[in-house]
Amino acid sequence: MSTAELLSVRNLHKKYGAVTALRNVSFTVRKGEVTALLGDNGAGKSTTIKAIAGAAPADSGSIILEGQEVSLRRPADANALGIQTVYQDLALCDNLGICANLFLGRERVLRPFGILRDVDMEAEALRVLKTLRVNLPSLDTHVSSLSGGQRQAVAIARAVLWGTKLVIMDEPTAALGVAQTAEVLRLVRDLAAQGFGVILITHNMHNVFEVADSVVVLRLGETVLEARKSDLTPEIVVGCITGSRTTVGGAA
Ligand SMILES: Nc1ncnc2c1ncn2[C@@H]1O[C@H](COP(=O)(O)OP(=O)(O)OP(=O)(O)O)[C@@H](O)[C@H]1O
pTM: 0.91
Residue nearest to atom 17 of ligand 1 (CA): 46
Q: Please tell me the least confidently modeled range out of 11-25, 75-89, 106-120, 176-190.
A: 106-120
Q: For ligand 1, atom 18, name the residue with the nearest CA.
A: 44
Does ligand 1 have an atom closer than 6 angstroms to the CB of 21?
yes
CA distance 54 to 12: 13
Q: What is the mean pLDDT of the chain?
A: 89
Regarding predicted confidence, which is higher, 202 or 121?
202
> Cβ–Cβ contacts within 10 Å for residue 222, how many?
17
**What is the per-residue pLDDT for 22?**
97
Query: For residue range 124-170, what is the model confidence (pLDDT) as tens digits?
Result: 888 888 888 888 888 889 999 998 889 999 999 988 887 899 999 99
Helix residue ranges, H only, 74-194: 75-80, 98-102, 118-131, 148-159, 178-193
Q: Is 87 in the pocket of ligand 1 (CB under 6 A)?
A: no
Average pLDDT (55-79) is: 95
CA of residue 45 to ligand 1 center, whole Å: 8
Helix (H, G, I), strand (E, B) or coil at 26: strand
Decide: residue 52, CB within 10 A, 0-12 exposed, 13-18 middle, 19+ buried.
buried
pLDDT in the model for residue 175: 80
Res. 111: pLDDT tops 60:
no
Residue nearest to ligand 1 atom 5, measured at CA: 16
Find out whether the beta carbon of 165 lies less than 6 Å from any atom of ligand 1: no
Distance (angstroms) between ligand 1 centre and the Cα of 140 equals 38
Q: Which atom from ligand 1 is nearest to the alpha carbon of 47?
A: 18
pLDDT higher than 80, residue 114:
no
Per-residue pLDDT band at 247 (split at 50, 70, 90): low
Q: What is the rounded average pLDDT of the residues 16-35?
A: 96
Whether the per-residue pLDDT at 3 is higher than 70: the answer is no
Between the CA of 166 and the centroid of ligand 1 the distance, in Å, is 23
Has the ipTM of the complex gone over 0.85? yes
- When mean pLDDT is compared across 111-115, 158-162, 167-171, 216-220, the lowest value belongs to 111-115
How far apart are the C-alpha atoms of 225 and 252, rounded to whole Å? 9
Measured by CA distance, the residue closest to atom 26 of ligand 1 is: 41
Q: Categorize the per-residue pLDDT at 45 as very low, low, confident or very high, splitting at 50, 70 and 90.
A: very high
The whole-number average pLDDT for the span 45-56 is 96
pLDDT of residue 130: 87
> Can you give the pLDDT at residue 252?
41
